[in-house]
Amino acid sequence: MHKSPSSQPPSMPSRFDPYHRWLGIPPGKIPPSHYRLLGLVEFEDDADVIQEASDRQMGHVKRHAGGPHSAESQQLLNELASATLTLLDPVKKLRYDESLRLSSSAFAESAAEKSASQTPAEPPPIQPSPAAISISTPRVVRPPAPPTRIAAPLPASSPHKPPPTLMTDPSSPWPPNIVGQGVLSTPSATSQTRWPTALTRIAGAWQRWNSNHLFRFVFTAVIACLITIIGLAVIMTVLDSGIETSNRPHIGIAPREDGAEQPESGDNQPGGAPPLVVVPMSPREVANLQRAWAQHHDLEPLRTTPMGMRLVLIPPGKFSMGTAIGGKDNETPPHEVTLSRVYYLGDREVTVRQFQQFIDDAAYSSAEKPEQWRGVDMRYSPTPDCPVNSVNWFDAVLFCNWLSTKERRKPAYARTGKKWKCMDDENKERECDTWRCNFGVDGYRLPTEAEWEYACRAGSSREFCFGTDETRLPQYASFSGNSKHRAWPAGTRLPNAWGLFDMHSNVWEWCWDWYGSYLPGPVRDPTGPAAGTGHLARGGAWTDDASGSRSTHRGATGPLGRFGNGGFRVCRGL
C-alpha cells in the first residue's frame, strides 16, 4: 500500500560497528582520530605508551580475524598500523598534530561566525526531513541484513550505485572530520530522498571552505597527509601479506617430524577446536585459550607426574621470534613462527632431587646414564629443590629417556649409530653419539628453541613476559641483580601467564636445536639446523644481568659442556 509523503519511513537496517564493539569508540566519535583509534589521549608524546597502546588494540582486533567479521578486522588492523606509523614518526606526528589542532580550531571559529551572522529576521534554516537523516544506532546484525565492511571512502562517481555515506552527525553543516577513516554504509531505498539536501549542504560547506585561505591550506595539507598514510599502509600490507593474511586460521594438514600428519588448529577445524594464540595477547586471553585447548583435548592445564613433576599445557599459536630492537646480532631477523602442536612443558627446571633419582636408579642401565658424572656443584645449587647444574646436553637427553621409561612412554630420543668428534669442557676431543628426536611420540624431550621462546613470552611481544619495565624483573627472575651468586629453589619467583616459573634466568636451559642463524620469512614448527657444533641454551642464569634474561636472548655451547649455571626443563607431546 502506498504511504503518504508525511509517513515515517522504515528505519535503516542495523549495521555492525567494529569501532564501537571492539574498540569502545561511540558512534558519535566516528571517524576517529589516530589517538582515539589507539585509545590514547590527544597529542600523547611517549613513544613507548603509543607502541604499547598499538600492541594492545591490534592484539584485541586480531582475536576477531577468524570470525564472521574478518574483512572488518583486516581493514581495522590496517588503520591501526597506519595510525601507529604516523604517531611514531616525529615528523609525521608533528604535521598530524598541527593539522588536528587547526582542524579543531577552524571548526569552532567557523561555527561562531555562522551563529553571529544570523539575524532574527532571517528565516530558520531548512532542516532535512527524517528520511534524509535516518541513521540507526550501529549494532550486530543478523541475516538477511548485508554484512558491513570497513574501507577507505570511495569516489562518488560510480555509475552503478550511489556513493556510500559516512555515518556522522547529519545535523552538522560541516563535512565529516577528515582525520582517520569512516564507517561506510550504502543508502537503502528508503533513504534516497536525502541526497539532494545532503549535496546542497556539502556544496555550501565547500563554498565556505574555498573562500577562506586558512581552510583551504588545512584541507590540502590534511588530504596530502592522508594520501601519504594510505599509500604507506597499502605498501606495508602488500609486503607483509604473508603475515597479515595468515592471522586467520584455516583447515589444513601440518607435517610432523615423524612423517605423520596432524590437522592444523583453527576456528573452522572439524571438532570445534579453539583459535590459535596470536601474540600479542593479554595474560587473561592466553590463560583462557590455555584452558580452552586443555578442555578440547580432554586434558588438564596443569598435570602432576608420578614423580611429582608438574607440567603446564601450552596451546598452539603464532608469534614473532627474535627482535630487531635492543638485541644482539644473533637475535635477528625477527620472523613469524607457527607452532601447530599442543605440548606440555615443565612448570620449573629439573631439580637436584629429581636428577639424583635418575642417577640412583639401580634398575636402569648404567650405559644410559651420564658418563664421567662429577655430581652437582652444591655451591651454586645448595638445596635439593634448586635446579640441577653441571649437566651437559647428553645428560639432559638421557634423563628424558629415563623419565619416559619410568612412565611407560615411548622415548623420544634414539641414537643414529653415527659418531662425531666434539670437545668437552676441558677442551679435550671425544667421540660422541649422534641422536635423533621423534616429535610425534608422547615421551619426554627437550623443548625446541621456538617452543621455549613462545612459552617464555606467554602472549607478550616485548622483552619480558610482563612487558618492558626492568624494575619488575626481580619479581620474576633470579638474575645477577638479586641472586646473591647462586641459583634459587625452582619456583621462588612469580610465574608467567601460563604458570611457568624461572623462564627469565636462574639457570640456562638446554634446547634441542643446534645453534644457527635465523632465516627471514615465516616458518612452521622449526627444529633448528640439521647439524652443528653447539646446542642452544635459553633463559639466562643467576650470573646474567637484565639484558641476558630477555625472552629473545640466545646462548650456545658444545654438547659436552657442564657448567655451574646450566640446567634444563622437560617437554613432551600428547
Cis, bond preceding 387 (omega within 30 deg of 0): no
**What's the whole-number mean pLDDT along residues 194-215?**
61
Q: How far apart are CA 571 and CA 574, in angstroms?
A: 10
Q: Taking 60 as the threshold, does the pLDDT of residue 354 lie above it?
A: yes
- The answer to whether residues 330 and 283 touch, using CB atoms and an 8 Å cutoff, is no
Place of cell 527524517: 130
Q: Cα(549)–Cα(186) distance, rounded to whole angstroms? A: 53
SS3 566: strand
Q: What percent of the chain has pLDDT over 90?
A: 45
Distance CA 460, CA 464 (A): 7
Is omega for the bond preceding 144 within 30 degrees of 0, making it cis?
A: yes
Q: What is the pLDDT of residue 138?
A: 34
Higher pLDDT among residues 310 and 169, named by residue = 310
pLDDT of residue 160: 35
Rounded distance, CA 376 to CA 350, Å?
12
Radius of gyration of the chain (CA): 30
- Over residues 94-117, the mean pLDDT reads 69
CA torsion angle 183 184 190 195 (round to 10):
110
Per-residue confidence (pLDDT) for residue 248, from 0 to 100: 32
Please state, in angstroms and rounded to a whole number, the distance separating the CA atoms of residues 171 and 169.
6
| pLDDT number for residue 124 | 45
Nearest Cα to 456, choosing from 347, 373, 562, 307?
347
Would you say how long the chain is, in residues?
574
Average pLDDT of the chain is 77
Q: How far is CA 411 from CA 354, 367, 383, 399, in A?
A: 18, 16, 30, 11
* Mean pLDDT value of segment 544-572: 93
DSSP 102: H
Which residues lie below 8 Å from residue 235, measured CB to CB, with a gap of 6+? none
pLDDT at 313: 97
**Chain segment 180-203, per-residue pLDDT in tens:** 333 323 333 333 434 445 556 666
For 92, other C-beta atoms within 10 Å of its C-beta total 16
Q: How many CB atoms lie within 10 A of CB 549?
A: 26
Q: How far, in Å, CA of 147 to CA of 184, rounded?
A: 11
CB atoms within 10 A of CB 309: 18
CA dihedral 239, 240, 244, 246 (to 10 degrees): 100
Condensed to tens digits (0 to 9), the pLDDT of residues 449-506 reads: 999 999 999 999 999 999 999 999 999 999 999 999 999 999 999 999 999 999 999 9
167 pLDDT band (50/70/90 cuts)? Answer: very low
Q: Tell me: the pLDDT tens digits for 318-351? A: 999 999 876 778 899 999 999 999 999 999 999 9
Q: At 213, is the pLDDT very low, low, confident or very high (cuts 50, 70, 90)?
A: low
Helix (H/G/I), strand (E/B), else coil: 250: coil
Q: CA dihedral defined by 40, 43, 47, 50, rounded to 10 degrees?
A: 20
Q: Is 332 exposed, middle or buried (0-12, 13-18, 19+ CB in 10 A)?
A: middle
Distance CA 205, CA 67 (A): 40
- Per-residue pLDDT at 150 exceeds 70: no
Question: Burial letters for 529-539: b for 16+ Cβ neighbours within 10 Å, e otherwise?
Answer: eeeeebbbbbb
Higher pLDDT, 156 or 293: 293
- Enumerate residues 6+ apart whose C-beta is below 8 A from 562: 374, 390, 391, 392, 395, 425
Q: What is the pLDDT of residues 501-552, one digit of tens each?
A: 999 999 999 999 999 999 889 999 999 999 888 999 999 999 999 999 999 9
Chain mean position to CA 146: 31
Q: Which domains, from first to last, does the chain contain? A: 18-111+145-185+195-238 (no CATH), 249-574 (3.90.1580.10)
pTM for this entry: 0.56
**Residue 178: what pLDDT?**
27
